[in-house]
Amino acid sequence: MLTIGKLSEATGVKVPTIRYYEDIGILPEAERSAGNQRLYGQMAQDRLRFVRHARELGFPLDAIRDLLSLSDRPDQSCAAADAIARAQLVAVEDRIARLTALKAELERMVVQCAGGAIRDCRVIEVLGDHGHCTAPHHGPQETT
């Protein structure tokens, strides 16, 4: 059995994140020692490695929760897991397209900057008026 600190070291997941995953049900609640210290077995370690890898691949927590649920029933069809992975692939492709547009716009702004005074700065001008952009490249909207 591993303490939360040792589990963190073994998986590369920070202690507060492990606690958060427990709070939201991604990880089952840990067993407790006589001194009320969290103790984790191999299953928790394997599950946490799965979650970490899925997060590295950009899967949202809801998708990870669904994938974990599917992995708990190994005899069923993997069609649902495939659908989740395909949806993540589409999301990544969309993000790449947005980032490519952002890169092109930033390159254009930098190239057009004459290096003079701020009043003539193309970077400031473009940032102040989206109409100067050559293509849509909207990212996530800010919330107020």
Distance CA 124, CA 14 (A): 39
3-state secondary structure of 35: coil
Residue 50: pLDDT over 90? yes
**pLDDT for the residue 128:** 77
Q: What is the pLDDT of residues 122-135, one digit of tens each?
A: 777 777 777 767 76
**Rounded to the nearest 5°, which phi and psi values hold at 41?**
-100, -175
pLDDT at 136 over 70: no
Higher pLDDT, 45 or 110: 45
- Around Cβ 81, how many Cβ atoms within 10 Å? 15
Four-point Cα dihedral 19, 25, 26, 28, nearest 10: 80
Instruction: Look up residue 120 and give its DSSP letter.
Output: G
Give this prediction's pTM.
0.74
